[in-house]
Amino acid sequence: MGWGDLGVFGEPSKETPNLDVMAAQGMLFPNFYTANPLCSPSRAALLTGRLPVRNGFYTTNAHARNAYTPQEIVGGISQDEILLPELLKKKDYVSKIIGKWHLGHRSQYLPLKHGFDEWFGSPNCHFGPYNNSVRPNIPVYNNSEMTGRYYEEFEINVKTGESNLTQIYLKEGLDFISQQATAQRPFFLYWAPDATHSPVYASERFLGKSQRGRYGDAVMELDDSIGQILAHLVSLGIHNNTLVFFTSDNGAAVMSGAHQSGSNGPFLCGKETTFEGGMREPAIAWWPGRIPAGTGINFCPGQEVPGVTTHTQEEHTMQPLIFHLGQDPGERYPISVQSEEYRDVHRQVTAVVEQHQKDLIPGMPQLNMCDLAVMNWSPPGCELLGKCLKAPESNPWKCVWPH
């Protein structure tokens, strides 16, 4: 989702009433940034608190470091990384992830090996459908074993956009909260649906309801789900002891075509770019009684800026593009390199970069190698379901990242 998808940030159709109320009752972060404009490295940073270049979620195969974890990726989150649920476990928290993981799909990289106690969801995004001979459909896990596959047991109709997945994820979340509240155990719920990721989907009750097409339908369903989660916390009487944080892994995709693309408001471009539209995310913190209410708004179609939004990777290290985001949030007017303002800011930025480079200890890159043999052919639990598939012979290659 993008910064401009929320009514509180000015989206004109005002189809996110629950998120807008959440912002009014809590703290809105208009200048919240992700660590990367792609899903996998962003999520790795969120759960480790470390930049992708430190936690290994980057590639050295190309000039830019951006990469993610498709089915054929060999690597995943390192055993050396300490994830948030591992820290919380020391304080007796029970942790569950619901939805997309995306930090590696091979068994050693899955959530229950990295601090989570429970999981219902998938290791990858819901791309497909595939014919299971050249490429398998993505499995859906219930804890440590698969319980089916997308487009098979868990249906997604690409043509109509109908799928009940968000409702399934919502029920899993509400049930988990109820169980922990009844047991009076502290808990961490990482609720990560991916309905707004292309191919966008929504359940029957929401299809066709939005003025913004199918993408808007998905946003409306996610907004409704978040409203139900907050209301559930209130009904259980634990809302004053529960911090809820809403955000996105990267800016909305603006290259996915009609009904599949979101909005990044006034900001340039979106997902897969390091412009504001790709890096600045909607973010809201909600904790009644602790956070005061009302605290704290091609890849660039139609937004081309000459010399800036180039379609080749340009080297700007020696003379970086610098924008004044307070005056130019759309990043359309680079500050002149000949101005005193540019020289002053460049000196400040250079000092920060040099300190970062001095202190940096890069993690081993996990996103360099690909291999068709490591795809989701035979996930744990496939034997019981009769869903195991024959993998091709291993033939690793260096992944190609065009982003």
Q: Which residues have a catalytic role annotated?
A: 39, 102
CA angle (303, 307, 309) in 5-degree steps: 40
Buried b (16+ CB within 10 A) or exposed e, 357-389: eeeeeebebbbbbbbbebbbbbbebbeebebeb
Phi, psi of 111 (to 5 degrees): -55, -40
Burial of residue 113 (CB within 10 Å: 0-12, 13-18, 19+) is: middle
3-state secondary structure of 216: helix
Q: Check: CB of residue 402 under 8 Å from CB of residue 312.
A: no
According to DSSP, the β-strands at 27-28 and 32-33 are: unpaired
Closest to 9 (Cα-Cα) out of 192, 251, 221: 251
- Residue labelled with tokens 């791309």: 127
Q: What is the dihedral of CA 207, 248, 280, 362, to 10 degrees?
A: -140
- Dihedral sign (CA 270, 274, 277, 281): positive
According to DSSP, the β-strands at 280-281 and 32-33 are: antiparallel
- Residue labelled with tokens 């990469």: 67
Helices 213-235 and 17-25 meet at what angle, rounded to 10? 50
